[in-house]
Amino acid sequence: MKVVRTRADLRAALHDAPRPVGLVPTMGWLHAGHTSLIERARADSATVVVSIFVNPRQFGQTADFTMYPRNEARDLETCERAGVDLVFAPSVDEVYPPGFDTLVSVGAIAVPLEGAARPGHFDGVATVVAILFSLVGVERAYFGLKDYQQVRVIRRMALDLALPTEVVACATVREPDGLALSSRNARLSPAGRAAAPVLHRALLEGEARLRAGERNADTVRAAMRGVLATEPRAEVDYVSVADPDTLAELATVEGGALLSLAATIDGVRLIDNARVG
Ligand code: AMP
């Protein structure tokens, strides 16, 4: 496994690399959710590239960026064990050199939910992913459905900018108690960790209501909020029942729905979602 830190070294390392190339973009602090993406990329690709970069442009508050957990040595071991060929672990200046002044801003699909809760977040995501796609010249890139809206934003961006990269969406990996794996879980206190599965329980409740025939989206939202309210540590940010294609909030659920929510526990912001139908 080779580790490169500059744009030039990444291009050079990929020049003669066997194709197809699969890319897994990450912010590090790798867990089983990330390794599931790496395994999928390994199965499809002759060369697997993992990027490890905590992208300052997708964080609203500097504190959130500084507090983001980091452990490169452990991440490199995880990559090595998972059969990664190449790791790109650049500095902030390498990704955004002095004078950098371009923003990739995706439209309507990036507006609601995480876009509304975290202004500028998806501009930061789309910009860094566009740079990665263009540097790696990648045939496929792998993203987790845990960040459902992110997958949709990146697909839109790749299509609109004619980037020849197939965006592959992979299922959410969960702890046995239902909590979606996330690098942020590391910042939860033991009590916060015990409280966190309430997000998944709320999604299960919403799903159960829909499967039982409930069609009123407000009733489903209220049921999900009701479950979240059982956990005093959970501060709800949003609870959504939306069209899975447009992410517009639904009044009535006729076809499929995307249930999603965001809540802060112990100052740690967690998100999760479930697609129904
Ligand atoms: P991050 O390092 O949090 O930016 O995540 C890097 C990639 O891993 C993104 O495509 C995430 O959607 C994906 N990912 C994060 N957590 C999970 C999970 N629990 N299951 C599946 N994919 C995940």
* Per-residue pLDDT tens over the stretch 66-88: 999 999 999 999 999 999 999 99
Q: Pocket around ligand 1: residues whose beta carbon is below 6 Å from it?
A: 26-27, 33-34, 36-37, 143-144, 146-147, 170, 172-173, 180-183
Which amino acid would we find at residue 57? R
- How many angstroms separate the alpha carbon of residue 252 from the centre of ligand 1? 30
Reported as a pLDDT band with limits 50, 70 and 90, residue 136 is confident
Nearest to 87 by CA among 97, 95, 96, 77: 77
- How many angstroms separate the alpha carbon of residue 99 from the centre of ligand 1? 30
* Cis upstream peptide for 56 (omega within 30°): no
* Per-residue pLDDT tens over the stretch 142-194: 999 999 999 999 999 999 999 999 999 999 999 999 999 999 999 999 999 99
